[in-house]
């Protein structure tokens, strides 16, 4: 019989820190939920690309935007500004950065399992 699971984002199973950002990961129900906090000045291509070693972010994201503003540009040139209260799906192949002076906080239900993690050799 399956049992109820409850976890709190302030007690994550794993924390991944990188310049101007952090991802808190909670493993629950066979999946992973990530809370990302990106500080003003954060940009994927500057602060996570050196870790991921890919041309652009290959993690697809299904996320809820808690606060701040993220600008996203897809590899095909499509752009969006994502704000608090937005729910977004970002397929693989994008760059993103914080707009303004407020940290951008997102809760991601899909793409954080391998995010900001060095590729395996």
The pLDDT tens digits of the residues spanning 34-45 come to 999 999 999 999
The predicted pLDDT at position 64 comes to 98
- Alpha-carbon distance of 34 to 63, in angstroms, equals 9
**Residue 121 pLDDT greater than 80, yes or no:** no
User: Tens of pLDDT along 14-28?
Assistant: 999 999 999 999 999
The predicted pLDDT at position 1 comes to 80
- Given a contact cutoff of 8 angstroms between Cβ atoms, the answer to whether 39 and 97 are in contact is no
Q: Which of 70, 46, 44, 40 is nearest to 59 (CA)?
A: 44
25-28 LR contacts (CB < 8 Å, sep 24+): 25/112, 25/113
Cα-atom radius of gyration of the chain, to the nearest Å? 14
Domains of the chain, first to last: 14-108 (2.60.120.10)
| pLDDT tier, 84 (very low <50, low <70, confident <90, very high otherwise) | very high
- Given a contact cutoff of 8 angstroms between Cβ atoms, the answer to whether 35 and 16 are in contact is no
- Given a contact cutoff of 8 angstroms between Cβ atoms, the answer to whether 13 and 25 are in contact is yes
Q: Which of 38, 33, 115 is nearest to 70 (CA)?
A: 38
């Amino acid at each position: 019989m399956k049992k109820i699971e409850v976890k709190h984002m302030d007690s994550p199973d794993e924390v991944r820190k990188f310049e101007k950002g952090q991802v808190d990961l909670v493993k629950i129900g066979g999946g992973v939920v990530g809370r990302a906090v990106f500080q003003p000045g954060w940009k994927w291509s500057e602060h996570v690309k050196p870790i991921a070693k890919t041309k652009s972010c290959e993690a697809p994201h299904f996320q809820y935007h808690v606060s701040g503003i993220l600008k996203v540009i897809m590899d095909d040139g499509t752009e969006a500004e994502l704000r608090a209260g937005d729910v977004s799906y970002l397929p693989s192949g994008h760059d993103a950065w914080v707009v303004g002076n407020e940290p951008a906080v997102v809760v991601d239900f899909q793409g954080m399992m391998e995010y900001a993690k060095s590729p395996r050799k």
